[in-house]
Amino acid sequence: MITKRITTKKIITLAMLIALSAVLALVRIPIPPITTLAFDSLPGFVAAALFGPLVGGIVGALGHLFTALYSGFPFGAVAHLIVMATMFITMFVFGLIYRKGFKIPAAITALIVNGPISLIPFIFLFGWGMVVSMILPLSIAAAVNIVIAMIIIPILEKALKLDTRNKTLFDEKESVLEEKPIVSEE
């Protein structure tokens, strides 16, 4: 039986990424007509690339939850739950593609999924007018987060000496955050 270990170090890493999403959700730049550029998804993209699609999806979904909480759920709880789901899907897909070594296609796919595709459910809630008016601002916000993430990810990979291809935060064998025993040389 193969079991996957979830260590304290892994839980702390996930908690730090979620906390970073909460802090970056406070950084908002207005994009007319009805949205803002928030940096809550940036840690989700980084987490998906460095620690796997599942971790990135969780961080991305919770990042949007923090933004919605801080702004008072302006579109209603149902709409923000849909956004959380689309953020999870965006980060998950980005992580899957990025970790296969296809970095630019991962970024392009994330932009398409996080931009126009994520708006499809809102046609039924708010109508075509709102959806069309949101495509450009939402795509700009997604692009800014993705570009910053694509700059930060390789720097963190190098600084943390991570080999992220096909490894996830919760892998049993050769995890990127595997705890190594301390061996003293006497």
| Rounded Cα gap, residues 180 and 164, in angstroms | 17
DSSP 75-107: T-HHHHHHHHHHHHHHHHHHHHHHTTT-HHHHH
pLDDT tens string 79-135: 889 999 999 999 999 999 999 999 999 999 999 999 899 999 989 988 898 889 888
pLDDT tens string 56-95: 999 999 998 988 888 888 778 888 899 999 999 999 999 9
pTM, entire model: 0.80
Sign of the C-alpha dihedral computed for residues 30, 90, 76 and 130 taken in this order: positive
pLDDT band at 165, cuts 50/70/90?
low
pLDDT band at 156, cuts 50/70/90?
confident
What percentage of the chain has pLDDT greater than the value 70? Answer: 82
Specify whether the CB–CB gap between 166 and 100 falls below 8 A.
yes
3-state DSSP assignment of residue 41: coil
Q: Which domains does the chain have, with CATH numbers?
A: 8-26+33-159 (1.10.1760.20)
